[in-house]
Amino acid sequence: MTIELRLTDIDPPAPEPKRTIYRDIVNLPDPVKLGMTIRYFNHDDVALYMQITGSGPGYTFGTVNLGSLASGANAYTNLDEFVSRAKPGVGDLPGGEMTENITLILKAYTDSGYTDLKWTYERTVTVYWINSVDAAFTEDALNNFDDGTVQTWAVASEVGGTDPTVAAVTDYVLSAPYSCQMKTGQRDTATEIRTRLYKSFTTANKDKVFAILDIRAGREGTGETYVWMKYHKIQRNTTLLTFLGKDVNEEVHHFPMNKWMRIVVPLPKNATVEVQIVLSVYYYPLASGYPGGGLLWLDDFKIVSK
């Protein structure tokens, strides 16, 4: 193949595993929108101009020109609100579930005007919808922080941060009056700051178990303009479940901040697992003495099973 599209960090020639996007309809707006991080490859002998779009019954896709990619190179990019769809109704999810497929279409052109198409690569992705309040599901855990505590969530610095904290706050919430906020800790020299919010759960002995996370990222500090969003990821212990953004220190945001994002991930049954939310930011001060860091909010976290 001469171009390729992947949704993981697994390098060719190792096969790309099947990918499924999980979604929960509860309290989503209509229409619902979907963003994702993609990784694309140019295996051709010449530089190519890459473009991403898609198709699927009932879906509307954007078309994003990704620019020139050198021969032998690959790149990551985050596609915010790349896809939209009318919100499925409760009746569309018998038993609280529905699956459908969408197709991601990577195109490669020889010219910057995107007129001379040379290659096309298509990737089918399954979208798995649930209705987490359907009677078929049991709510096994709910952390809405409305008692004014962090409900045993904890925080740890992975890289760069100093004295990260976690607290119940009232500034941004999905269910009043509280949400949980993680602060990465601040630095005053150029560096990555990466911090983990985590908690352990024991899952039900049922075939289908899902964690539903509503998160929001932001930044803090004097001179906060110079805190840039690198990526956030959801892990089960050390197993990567979702990744949004780009692992590179650049003065640009690689995933959106100041907006709530819902992430749904499957969990193994009858197991004790640590759910981890990792936020990575790049801090680049304009001058010394202007510390800054990252923020992450979590609200209405729950685990359901069927």
**Tens digits of per-residue pLDDT, 32-88?**
999 999 999 999 999 999 999 999 999 999 999 999 999 999 999 999 999 999 999
Work out the percent of the chain whose per-residue pLDDT is above 70.
97
Q: What does the alpha-carbon distance between residue 86 and residue 220 come to, in Å, rounded to a whole number?
A: 35
Which domains are delineated in the chain? 3-130 (2.60.40.2550), 138-305 (2.60.120.260)
In angstroms, what CA-CA distances link 200 with 101, 197, 275? 32, 11, 6
- Note the pTM of the prediction, 2 decimals: 0.94
Residue 304 reports pLDDT greater than 60: yes
Inter-residue contact 96 to 265 (CB < 8 Å) = no
pLDDT for the residue numbered 226: 82
Per the CB < 8 A criterion, the answer to whether 47 and 151 are in contact is no
Residue 237 DSSP one-character state: T
* pLDDT for the residue numbered 191: 87
For the chain, state the CA radius of gyration: 20
What's the pLDDT band for 124 if we cut at 50, 70, 90? very high
pLDDT given for residue 293 in this prediction: 87
Output 189 or 156, whichever has higher pLDDT.
156
Query: Distance between CA 302 and CA 145 in Å, rounded?
Result: 11
Angle, CA of 36, 258 and 65, to the nearest 5°:
35
Q: Quick check: 291 pLDDT over 80?
A: no
pLDDT tops 70 at residue 224: no
Taking the C-alpha atoms of residue 230 and residue 233, their distance in angstroms, rounded to an integer, is: 10
**Mean pLDDT of all residues in 262-287:** 93
CA distances from 220 to 49, 274, 289 (A): 37, 27, 14
Written as six digits, the tokens of 110 are 């020889």
Confidence grade of residue 288 (pLDDT, cut at 50, 70, 90): low
| Average pLDDT of the chain to the nearest whole number | 94
Residue-level pLDDT at 222: 63
State pLDDT tens for residues 78-118. Answer: 999 999 999 999 999 999 999 999 999 999 999 999 999 99
How many angstroms from the chain centroid is the CA of residue 166?
21
The arithmetic mean of pLDDT across residues 140-144, rounded, is: 98
